């Protein structure tokens, strides 16, 4: 895990080139505090801040060179040992114990198709001195970031936006569509655009080729939403267990200590329990943040269930004070490079801080499970819509009643569930999210417009919904905060559920393997039978990474955010913004999430 930065610019002299690259690397020094390396070749400049995880020796320094190729790389190739063995059989010899060298050899052997062989997370730029082309690639889910500016023949790229702000080609003009989308939907990331018109993002699962001033982007991986398997449910459960165990084994490869986040929910508890099963004699530090008092969020009783079953797990807890929250806010928003979509990124910031204080450099986290296995309650609307389309009315009412019983719904909530499911029957994902987007227009927006386009994928409505969770609507934003918060403390955050083999397998499953009779993530729960504590397996409440922040913090340590002026944002209605804030100050919590996004947007705009 590192920070990369570089450019191709033939207009700079030697001192300008050196100063620009140094400024870019200093801006993202937190991503790699262990070493810094630079390399220049004609108009090409490559820079690297190293966080040493594999092969801690000097052999692992970057930029790294292999025959006629040079690379800067951020991420991990978890199956690098297996790929290296395959390459050895083809006659390749290796000088280091790094996955970086494996990428270089794999590129020499397979060219741009080398990425098909990798299990991992990455963003890299690889210079081919024979063809004079720069080959850039981003992993399947965009776990690792890659931003760039392309102007004429100039091409600048980096791991974070703040590095590109140090260049002469950056223009500080906001992308109003992106800002509006973040405000109204909480999406801080789209496949290609960013909050700045001048900066683009390489989409997940894409390669970029820079060739003599021109760039070409192609998609090298995508999720298949229609492929199915013919296994029995019991065999699918076994397959799920095997894939997850293998993924976590690969994600445990490290030459430094590995810890984990442990919220007490199904996903993080699964990861911790599998590690405890695979490595019963290996201490695993686990980190949890909780809040007491009004709006309490305290999952420690669930954490203790896991720790009680696996004594090798050492839990560490932290409960932030109001002063901690006030002090962390400015830092979290600086590292994020974007407005905070909610208060949960601050909790995540505290988790990473806690892990750093206890000497952990690699952390396992549970991102990606909900988006492939149907963990969110909104998944029910699509599931029921699919049942409605088949006119299986008995099945519909059975599923609604079981779900309502599990979640303790009132009759009115059951009716609401039915109506929203019916809406999902007659509307595709684009229309559903457009309705959600427009919902805030009466409050704030001056010019209604829909800045996103969700393709209608083939397959079930549930798979279509999950596809967009992975690719557009939610996971990219979560992964952006995951990366920035972890790297703020020079921690490599790993997400075993985003092993692409697990995701591809999940999309071959029938819908009832994911959601069935009131149970979300059914196959995950059943695959962990006997491994997870029963109390965790049987949890039916969906907490997410919640905090009391959107209400309690805005009336406490962050109340200064409410006193900002909103009459200088040209694309918002100052009158409606003020009315929204005044209603919240008067005690109306109905639009607390929107208030949070509005005030943090304004604060962030004052920093850019």
pLDDT of the residue at 442? 46
Phi, psi of 350 (to 5 degrees): -65, -35
Output the six-digit token pair for 386. Answer: 């699919």
Class of domain 233-372+471-537: alpha beta
pLDDT of the residue at 177? 86
Give the position of tokens 């023949």. Answer: 153
Closest CA relative to residue 139, chosen from 172, 103, 173: 103
Helix then strand then coil, % of the chain, to nearest 5: 45, 15, 35
pLDDT of the residue at 447? 60
38 within 8 A of 21, measured Cβ to Cβ: yes
71 within 8 A of 61, measured Cβ to Cβ: no
How many whole angstroms separate alpha carbon 77 and alpha carbon 442? 47
Cβ contacts of 372 within 8 Å, gap of 6 or more = 466, 470, 497, 502, 503, 506, 507
Q: How many CB atoms lie within 10 A of CB 512?
A: 18
How many whole angstroms separate alpha carbon 60 and alpha carbon 358? 25
Q: What is the mean pLDDT of each run of 10 residues along the chain (608 residues)?
A: 94 96 98 97 97 89 97 98 98 96 98 98 97 98 98 98 98 91 88 95 98 97 95 98 98 97 95 98 97 87 97 97 96 96 96 98 97 94 92 82 82 87 93 85 61 90 97 95 98 98 98 92 97 92 74 95 88 85 94 93 92
Length of the chain: 608
Burial of 24 (0-12, 13-18, 19+ CB in 10 A): buried
List 2, 114, 136, 261, catalytic entry: 2
**3-state DSSP assignment of residue 490:** coil
C-alpha neighbours within 13 Å on the C-beta side of residue 377: 15
Cα radius of gyration (the chain): 24
pLDDT of the residue at 216? 98
Give the position of tokens 């995701």. Answer: 503
Domains 2-219 and 233-372+471-537 share a fold: no
pLDDT of the residue at 533? 97
Structural domain boundaries in the chain: 2-219, 233-372+471-537, 549-605
pLDDT of the residue at 531? 97
How many whole angstroms separate alpha carbon 286 and alpha carbon 380? 32
Q: Is 136 a catalytic residue?
A: no
pLDDT of the residue at 151? 97
- 9-18: burial string, b at 16+ Cβ within 10 Å, e else: beebeeeebe
CATH numeric code, 2-219? 3.60.20.10
Give the position of tokens 């223009």. Answer: 171
**3-state DSSP assignment of residue 211:** strand
Cβ contacts of 351 within 8 Å, gap of 6 or more = 261, 287, 288, 289, 318, 485
Compute CA distances 203 → 154, 235, 364, 555, whole Å: 20, 34, 24, 38
pLDDT of the residue at 443? 54
């Amino acid at each position: 895990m590192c920070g990369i930065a570089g450019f191709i610019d033939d207009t700079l002299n030697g001192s300008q080139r050196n100063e620009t690259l140094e400024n870019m690397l200093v801006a993202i020094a937190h991503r790699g505090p262990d070493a810094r390396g630079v390399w220049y070749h004609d108009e090409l400049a490559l820079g690297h801040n190293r966080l040493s995880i594999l092969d801690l020796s000097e052999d692992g320094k970057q930029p790294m060179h292999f025959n006629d190729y040079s690379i800067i790389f951020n991420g991990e190739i978890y199956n690098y040992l297996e790929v290296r063995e395959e390459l050895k059989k083809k006659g390749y010899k290796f000088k280091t114990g790094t996955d970086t060298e494996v990428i270089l050899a794999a590129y020499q052997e397979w060219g741009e198709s080398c990425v098909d062989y990798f299990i991992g997370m990455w963003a890299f730029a690889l210079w081919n001195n024979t063809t004079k082309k720069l080959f850039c690639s981003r992993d399947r889910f965009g776990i690792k970031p890659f931003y760039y500016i392309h102007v004429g023949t100039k091409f600048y790229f980096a791991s974070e936006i703040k590095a590109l702000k140090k260049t002469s080609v950056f223009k500080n003009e906001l992308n109003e569509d992106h800002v509006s989308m973040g405000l109204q939907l909480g999406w801080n990331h789209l496949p290609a655009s960013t909050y700045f018109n001048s900066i683009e993002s390489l989409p997940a699962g894409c390669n970029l080729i820079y060739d003599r001033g021109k760039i070409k982007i192609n998609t090298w991986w995508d999720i298949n939403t229609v492929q199915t398997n013919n296994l029995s449910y019991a065999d699918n459960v076994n397959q799920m267990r095997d894939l997850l165990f293998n993924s976590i084994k690969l994600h445990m490869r490290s030459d430094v200590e590995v810890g984990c986040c442990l919220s007490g929910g199904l996903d993080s508890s699964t990861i911790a329990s599998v590690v405890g099963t695979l490595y019963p004699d290996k201490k695993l530090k686990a980190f949890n943040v909780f809040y007491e008092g009004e709006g309490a969020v305290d999952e420690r009783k669930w954490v203790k269930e896991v720790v009680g079953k696996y004594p090798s797990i050492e839990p560490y807890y932290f409960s932030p004070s109001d002063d901690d929250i006030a002090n962390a806010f400015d830092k979290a928003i600086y590292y994020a490079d974007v407005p905070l979509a909610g208060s949960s990124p601050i909790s995540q910031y505290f988790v990473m801080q806690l892990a750093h204080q206890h000497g952990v450099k690699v952390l396992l986290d549970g991102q990606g499970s909900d988006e492939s296995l149907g963990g969110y309650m909104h998944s029910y609307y699509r599931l029921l819509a699919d049942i409605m389309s088949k006119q299986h009315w008995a099945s519909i009412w059975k599923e609604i009643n079981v779900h309502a019983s599990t979640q303790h719904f009132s009759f009115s909530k059951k009716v609401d569930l039915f109506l929203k499911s019916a809406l999902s029957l007659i509307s595709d994902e684009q229309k559903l999210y457009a309705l959600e987007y427009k919902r805030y227009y009466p409050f704030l927006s001056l010019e209604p417009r829909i800045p996103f386009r969700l393709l209608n994928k083939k397959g079930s409505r549930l798979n279509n919904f999950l596809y967009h969770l992975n690719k557009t609507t939610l996971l990219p934003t979560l992964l952006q905060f995951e990366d920035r918060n972890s790297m703020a403390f020079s921690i490599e955050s790993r997400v075993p559920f985003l092993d692409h083999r697990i995701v591809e397998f999940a999309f071959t499953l029938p819908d009832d393997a994911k959601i069935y009779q009131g149970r979300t993530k059914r196959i995950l729960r059943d695959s962990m039978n006997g491994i997870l504590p029963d109390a965790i397996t049987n949890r039916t409440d969906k907490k997410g990474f919640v905090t009391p922040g959107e209400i309690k913090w805005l009336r406490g340590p962050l109340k200064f955010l409410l006193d900002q002026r909103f009459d200088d944002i040209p694309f918002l209605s100052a009158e409606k913004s003020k009315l929204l804030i005044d209603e919240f100050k008067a005690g109306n919590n109905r639009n607390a999430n929107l208030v949070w996004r509005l005030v943090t947007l304004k604060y962030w705009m004052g920093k850019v």
